[in-house]
Structure 1
C-alpha cells in the first residue's frame, strides 16, 4: 500500500503553507513535481523552491511533463476524461517505479485539492485500476479565500448563498437563479462580458497571493473593459495567468 498525499500549497506564496503541509512534504519519500510547459515555469519553480528551501528534509523529487488537454474534442467532458486517463497513467508509472512498498509520495497542489481541481479524481482512477493506494488530503488556502481577503469583502451576503461556478457555465446558462453572488473560476474568456452589467458589482483578481497580484473592483459596466485590457496585458507579459472573480447583484 502506497500513501499518496495531495498537499494544498496555496496560490503562489510560500507563507500559505500550513504546518501540516510542511510536515507531510517533509515525511514523503518522493515528491512528484509537474511541469506545465515553459509558459508556466513559474509554477514549477515555486514547487522546486519549496522543496529546496522550506523543507528540513530532502525527499526525492521526480519531475514529469503534464499532458495537454485537447480543447478541440467535440464534447468537453470527453476531452477532460481522456486527459485525466493520461495523467492517471503517468502517475501510476511514476509511483510504481519510484516508491517502495509502504512508501509515501506527495504531490503539491495549487490552492486546495478539493476546489475545482482534479487531483482527487485522478487518484481515484488509480484505485479503480486496482492499485493499492491510500490517498490523503492536506487542505490549502484557496484563491477564493485570497480574493475575498485582498478585497476585504465577505464571501456571501446576509442570508444568501453563493454559487461557485466556471466561466463556461456562466456563458452557457447566464446568471443562476436564487442567488445574488457568483464566484467564477477557470474563466479564460472574461465571461462576465456576456451578462447585462446593470446593478452587478465585480471583484476581480489575478495572481492572487503572488508578488504580481492585481486587483480591480467596481460596477461591472464601469470596470469590465478595464479588467479585460489588464488581463490581456498581464497574460502577454507573463505568458500565463490565473484569475478569479466574484459577481454580486446590488440593488440601487
Structure 2
C-alpha cells in the first residue's frame, strides 16, 4: 500500500531537524510540496534545500499549486474545511499518479505536524474518501518551543497551565483560568486589546531562521515597536510567521 510520511522539520533552522526526520526523509521516493505562490516561494525553496542537504539517495519533488482560500468568509470553519478538502483532492490525485503501489511519499511540515498544521487532517480526508494510503507522523520542534528557548523562559509557571490559542480566539476573549497564553496564527496582533493590562509579551518572528526577530517587555510599552518591526518585515519578505507568549504579571 502507498504510504505518506508527514515529517516535522522544525521552524526553519536545518540544525533542528531531528535524526528521526532525516531517516524518514531518506525513505521517501517523492516529496509533495504545496506551492503557495510568489509570496511564499522562500518557504518552498527552504523545503527543497532541506532535501538537498539531508537526502543522500534519489528522490523526486512534486509541486502542487495550493488551492485559494476564502479568508473573508463569514463561515470561517466552513471555508477552512472547503480549502482542506480541495487540498486533499489535489494531493490524492498526485499520490496515485506519482507513487507506485508500494511507494513512499513525503510531506515536510513546518514546526510540528500536531500543532496548528492541517496535513494530518488532509491525509484523514483522503483515506475517508476511499483512497488506500497509509501515513505516519514524525514530530518536529515547534516555533513555540523555539520561542521559549530564545527568550529563556518556561511556557508555564510553577503548578500553572499554559494555553495555546489563535489570534482569532484571543480577540474573542482571554482564556478563562489561565495567566500564560501562547498565541499563533495572529495576522492582526489581537494582543493590542490587552495593552493596558499588566501583561508581559515575549514575541518572535521567523524563528529558527537567519531573519529571526525577537522582542520582549511590558505589552503596553513594546507593542507599538513590535507592530512597526512586524510591518516592515512583512513588507520586505512578503510573508511573516510569528508567535508570542502573553504572561499576566503578579499572578
Same fold by TM (over 0.5)? yes
Alignment TM class, shorter chain as reference:
over 0.9
Q: Which residue of 1 aligns with 2:197?
A: 198
Relative to the length of structure 1, the TM-score reads: 0.97
Deviation at 1:196? 4.6
After TM superposition, the structure 1 = structure 2 runs for residues 24-43 of structure 1, keeping only pairs within 5 Å, are 24-43=24-43
- In structure 1, distance between residues paired with 2:136 and 2:175: 34
1:166 aligns with 2:172: no
Deviation at 1:53? 2.7
Q: Give the match's secondary structure for 1:194.
A: helix
- In structure 2, distance between residues paired with 1:81 and 1:127: 16
Q: Which residue of 2 aligns with 1:70?
A: 70
Deviation at 1:51? 1.6
Q: Which residue of 2 aligns with 1:110?
A: 110
Contact 1:67/1:87, CA 8 A, preserved across alignment: yes
Q: Give the match's secondary structure for 2:214.
A: strand
Cα root mean square deviation, aligned: 1.0
Q: Which residue of 2 aligns with 1:12?
A: 12
Contact 1:18/1:140, CA 8 A, preserved across alignment: yes
Q: Which residue of 1 aligns with 2:247?
A: 248
Q: Give the match's secondary structure for 1:189.
A: coil
Q: Structure 1 regions of 5+ residues with no counterpart?
A: none
Q: Which residue of 2 aligns with 1:213?
A: 212
Q: Give the match's secondary structure for 2:202.
A: strand
Contact 2:92/2:126, CA 8 A, preserved across alignment: yes
Contact 2:112/2:141, CA 8 A, preserved across alignment: yes
More divergent stretch after superposition (103-112 vs 192-201): 192-201
Q: Give the match's secondary structure for 2:176.
A: coil
More divergent stretch after superposition (177-186 vs 56-65): 56-65
- In structure 2, distance between residues paired with 1:212 and 1:197: 30
More divergent stretch after superposition (51-60 vs 97-106): 51-60
Q: Which residue of 1 aligns with 2:226?
A: 227
1:176 aligns with 2:175: yes
Q: Give the match's secondary structure for 2:41.
A: helix
Q: Which residue of 1 aligns with 2:81?
A: 81
Q: Give the match's secondary structure for 1:27.
A: coil
Relative to the length of structure 2, the TM-score reads: 0.98
How many residues matched? 251
Contact 2:64/2:91, CA 8 A, preserved across alignment: no
